[in-house]
Amino acid sequence: MTDEKTAELVIDRLLLALAAQLHTSGSPFLAAGAVEALADLSRTQADVIFGQAGHLVHYGADTEPLKALIHAITAVQRDEAPADAVVKPGDDVRLVGEVPDSLADYDEMWLRKTTFVVRYVGRDATVDVQPDLTEDYVMATVPAAGVQPL
């Protein structure tokens, strides 16, 4: 097994464990220590976490605890988004304008009708988006001007 595959499996286990812990707590909020551990995520870190969690949900892991975890992590990201951001993590958006290079391999008709969720807001006028997890779990960086809030 490759080191990369091993890392993915470890991340999967940690996400499932954190989701189970959150689920059994009876609260939709992460513990203060978990919030602190998830604060100040880089774009790459957020992409790995949301991509792996999305992969698990998309392929049928116990979805309700994982969705709750995704929402809780998104809330941490939302609190850290720039105050003047037009969209923030957790916002539903549609793509507008030209299809960004990061999504060039996808069917344009599908992209236009798909609702995406903002997962990360960069300080460089870009956002990372992810579709509804029943559709796909891809994470894509797009220009902030290329999305429209719903």
Q: What is the pTM of this model?
A: 0.92
Whether the CA torsion 36, 39, 45, 51 is positive or negative: it is positive
> CA 31, CA 34: separation in Å to the nearest integer?
5
Per cent of the chain over pLDDT 90 is 82
Inter-CA distances, 27 with 19, 20, 30, Å: 11, 12, 8
Q: Are 147 and 94 in contact (CB under 8 A)?
A: yes
State pLDDT tens for residues 37-90: 999 999 999 999 999 999 999 998 778 999 999 999 999 999 998 888 889 999
**Residue 142 predicted with pLDDT over 80:** yes
Q: Which two tokens stand for residue 21?
A: 């812990």
Kind of pairing, strands 126-131 and 92-95? Answer: unpaired
Mean pLDDT (the chain) is 93
Q: Quick check: 119 pLDDT over 90?
A: yes
- According to the model, what pLDDT value does residue 57 have? 93
Beta strands in the chain (DSSP E): 92-95, 116-121, 126-131, 140-143, 147-149
In angstroms, the CA 91 to CA 74 distance is: 10
Tokens 């798909």 belong to residue: 114
pLDDT at 51: 95
